[in-house]
A and B are shown apart, each in its own frame.
Chain A
Amino acid sequence: MLTEPALTASPEDKAGHEVIIRMRGVRTVFGTRVIHNGVDLDVYRGEVLALVGGSGSGKSTLMREMIMLHSPDGGSVKLFDTELVGIGAREAQRLRRRLGVLFQQGALFSGMTVLQNTGMPLREHTRLDDVMIDALARVKIAQAGLPPEAAGLLPSELSGGMIKRAALARAMALDPEILFLDEPTSGLDPTSAGAFDELVLQLKDMLGLTVLMVTHDLDTLWRVADRVAVLGDGKLQGVDTMDALAKSTQPHIQEYFKGPRARRAREQ
């Protein structure tokens, strides 16, 4: 949304950033495996924050905890200043309307066309008429950079890049304040991945979105992310801009950003 007065005011940190998600001491355990052991993370309104880390470092799980798909075993997660641990069903439902999520595989409903997929959140959550919902869905589909013909297609008829765009159109349907992207460019060719990066930037500028993304794509990190949070060993190893992280001497961060691939991405 474009205006300052959010439905619930969020706290500000020392530097004056409005904190939209605040995680403190988050602990996650799967069986005997400790995934997160005290993660502290603030996400500011209007920024693009990227979560990175090796496979199995719990990036996606941390994101699932922010969008109420998984409850942490300890600590606190605050979204728009509402505590998510032990939240009631009604309150959770109200918060979910303010989030948009793009899943890694798109997770489009396979029995519906792109138009129906995109219109579904509007149909479920508003009292708007079908004509307006269809028209709005078409606008979102255009926003996501899909041609108008794509509206009538089924997910099984789409290419990988189109699936991501259609899923983005659905995630944007309710004009969310925070957009969560799980590996938005994975499985795309470099051209489509680059175009998707630009699309995310454009939407963020236009609509004042806060974007939280999980990604492995170093080009995306350099191009899109305002700040990058590095997960490793169950803790946050550092949160900073790419430039600062690239200079870091922390072994976990170095390992991630000083490989030959990372250097090449930076030079571009």
Chain B
Amino acid sequence: MSRQDSSQAEVEIKADTLACNGRWTVGDVARLRADMDEMALPDAPVVTIDGAAISAMDTTGAWLLLQFRQQLEADGRKVILAAFSAAHQRLLDYIAEERRAADKPTVRAPGKSWLEHWSSIVDDSIDFLAFVGECVLALLTAIRHPGRIRWRELLDDIYHTGVNALPIVGLLSFLMGVVIAYQGAVQLKTYGANIYVADLVGYSMLRELAPLLTAILICGRTGSAYAAKIGTMKVREEIAALQTIGVPPIELLVLPKLFALIIVMPLLSVYADILSVFGGMVMANAQLGIGFNAFLERLEEAITISTFMIGISKAPVFAAIIAIVGCYQGFKVEGSAESVGRHTTISVVQSIFMVIIVDAMFSILFSMLGI
């Protein structure tokens, strides 16, 4: 860089002349530009800018030189450009013209007011309801004409959302069982109520935690993938292409995903139940010395089939929420890659939020029904 430093753009100030030298190019004008404001420019009624010693000039350099001229003229002086090479002079004239064209200030639209903000939330909710309605209509059509169900896509989605999710769902459920059993063991030990660890693990996991944990994992893993996939298709105009070919996008893209998740989620929840109980069992054995047989016998006494069914019955509802929110956000994508990212994030946050709200509503409902 030292070689470039020695030829950086410079000005030499004389009584009525601004003598320029060095390379007036994009990489070499930064220092001059930084010093520009503190310079004492020549104070004469007519100032000459001498460009004879400029060794190279590009548009950036030309812009800066014109900036000098503008500053001098602003103070009411007359400025003469002298001794520039023909090419440099041509470039200066050209940039001067483009500067004039660029000089009109642009007005950026003002930000949203709080009222617009809230009204956009209302609009969003109405949009979402409309989308749910469209999905239900498509669902009814599909039930009336089962031949139009896309079995290939359905099986594909079942494989991707179900089979591929087994390792992560299994591992996390197992660890959840371990944690619950461990925390419970510490408390129960003090009362000598060791065997009730089976009640604790069985009841909490089967009824609440296993389906919820599965749903949250699937939100992050599958809901986001749905949003990103449909969003990307929207950006690439594939959705529009489907419409022109006469394939309703909801029928091809949303229904198979919705069905697949509704089928897969209860199965994953059962699987999560099994592995979390196993995790609890392993921990009970290690911490409290309860053998597997004793644990399972106690589990059979403590847990009724309805506890298990309550947990599993929530899974298809969670599945529907995740699939519909994910797909809806995918369709909301507009134009850019950034929009895909934003709506993917929104889909995950919204679906986790809604899953937890609905879970709470289930709790209220079940307690009112006395189950």
Which residues of A pack against B, CB within 8 Å?
1-3, 5, 97, 110-111, 115, 122, 125-129, 132, 135-136, 138-143, 148-149, 151-152, 154-156, 172, 174-175, 206-208
A132 touches B104 (CB 8 A): no
Question: A207 and B91 in contact (CB under 8 A), knowing A148-B102, A148-B104, A152-B107?
Answer: yes
Q: How many A-B residue pairs have CB under 8 A?
A: 98
CB-defined contacts of A111 to chain B, threshold 8 Å:
336-338
Whether B21 sits at the interface, judged by CB under 8 Å, is: no
Which residues of B pack against A, CB within 8 Å?
25-27, 29-30, 33-34, 55-60, 63-64, 87-88, 90-91, 94-95, 98-99, 101-108, 334-339
CA A151 to CA B101, docked complex, whole Å: 12
A1 touches B56 (CB 8 A): yes
A174 touches B106 (CB 8 A): no
CA A140 to CA B26, docked complex, whole Å: 13
How distant is A109 from chain B, measured CB to nearest CB, in Å? 9
Given known contacts A110-B335, A128-B29, A142-B102, what 14 new A-B pairs fall within 8 Å (CB)? Answer: A2-B57, A3-B55, A110-B336, A126-B26, A126-B27, A129-B34, A132-B63, A141-B102, A148-B103, A149-B104, A149-B106, A152-B106, A175-B26, A206-B90
How distant is A44 from chain B, measured CB to nearest CB, in Å? 19
CA A156 to CA B342, docked complex, whole Å: 15
Question: A139 and B63 in contact (CB under 8 A), knowing A1-B25, A2-B91, A206-B90?
Answer: yes
A140 touches B59 (CB 8 A): yes
Question: A127 and B101 in contact (CB under 8 A), knowing A2-B56, A140-B59, A206-B90?
Answer: no
**Is the contact region of chain A dominated by helix, strand, or loop, or is it mixed?**
helix
CB-defined contacts of B88 to chain A, threshold 8 Å:
2
Partner among A132, A142, A149, A174 whose Cβ is within 8 Å of the Cβ of B33: A132
Instruction: List 5 contacting pairs A-B, 8 Å CB cutoff, sorted by A.
Output: A125-B27, A132-B63, A139-B98, A148-B104, A152-B106
A207 touches B59 (CB 8 A): yes
How distant is B6 from chain A, measured CB to nearest CB, in Å? 14
Q: Please give me the residue from chain B that is nearest to A144 by CB atom.
A: B98
Q: Which 8 A-B pairs have the closest CB atoms?
A: A156-B335, A110-B336, A138-B102, A175-B58, A111-B338, A3-B56, A142-B101, A142-B102
B336 touches A136 (CB 8 A): no
B87 touches A2 (CB 8 A): yes
CB-defined contacts of A3 to chain B, threshold 8 Å:
55-57, 87
Q: Please give me the residue from chain A that is nearest to B105 by CB atom.
A: A148
CA A225 to CA B337, docked complex, whole Å: 35
Q: Please give me the residue from chain A that is nearest to B94 by CB atom.
A: A206
Partner among A1, A5, A152 whose Cβ is within 8 Å of the Cβ of B58: A1
Q: Please give me the residue from chain A that is nearest to B54 by CB atom.
A: A3
How distant is B107 from chain A, measured CB to nearest CB, in Å? 7
CA A246 to CA B105, docked complex, whole Å: 49
A148 touches B55 (CB 8 A): no
How distant is A11 from chain B, measured CB to nearest CB, in Å? 21
Question: A139 and B102 in contact (CB under 8 A), knowing A5-B55, A175-B58?
Answer: yes
CB-defined contacts of A129 to chain B, threshold 8 Å:
33-34
CA A100 to CA B30, docked complex, whole Å: 21
CB-defined contacts of A141 to chain B, threshold 8 Å:
102
CB-defined contacts of A2 to chain B, threshold 8 Å:
56-58, 87-88, 91
CB-defined contacts of A140 to chain B, threshold 8 Å:
59
Q: Please give me the residue from chain B that is nearest to A177 by CB atom.
A: B58
CA A206 to CA B57, docked complex, whole Å: 12
A139 touches B26 (CB 8 A): no
CB-defined contacts of A97 to chain B, threshold 8 Å:
27
A155 touches B63 (CB 8 A): no
